[in-house]
Homo-oligomer: A and B are copies of this chain.
Amino acid sequence: MTENTINPIKFSLDPKSGVPFYKQIILQVEMAIADKRLVNGDQLPTVRSLAVDLSINPNTVARSYNELEIRGIVHTQQGTGTFISDKVVELDEIKREKVLASISRSFISKAGSYGFTLKEIIEYLQTIEGGKE
């Protein structure tokens, strides 16, 4: 009876990876957004259905969805479901740059602790970018 208003993303877990289940789910949502398999307004599987699907506890799914909500990636409503936030796909440039700034900062700091300068880092990344097909 439910139309497929739900974009059928395939979730899967690798228990051997050492990556916590809830993080794997978050990553899969993020990646799906990144390559447009999920777009604004799309509904994620319900907490229960995904929990059954993956044979894990509903709370584990809920935790993933909660973190995604905190990051502003999804919004959630009891009785209705969890949906990709409109803002995400509108690509709010300000928020986007904040995210990039944040993860860049920690990367630069880490590289710096190994003695790399920002100049060196950029040069290295350019060799990668140039070298891809």
Contact = CB atoms under 8 A, between A and B. Distances in A.
A122 interface: yes
Contact of A115 (B34, B112, B114, B118): B34
Given A107-B107, A122-B122, A100 B129 contact: no
Q: How many copies does the complex hold?
A: 2
A111 interface: yes
Contacts of A114: 30, 34, 96, 99-100, 103
Contacts of A119: 129
Given A34-B112, A113-B27, A114-B99, A126 B121 contact: no
Contacts of A126: 122
Contacts of A52: none
Nearest to A129: B118
A97 B124 contact: yes
A34 B110 CA distance: 11
A86 to B, nearest CB: 15
A128 interface: yes
10 contacts: A27-B113, A34-B113, A91-B115, A96-B114, A100-B114, A104-B107, A104-B111, A118-B128, A118-B129, A122-B122
Given A97-B124, A107-B107, A122-B129, 5 more contacts: A30-B113, A30-B114, A31-B112, A99-B114, A103-B107
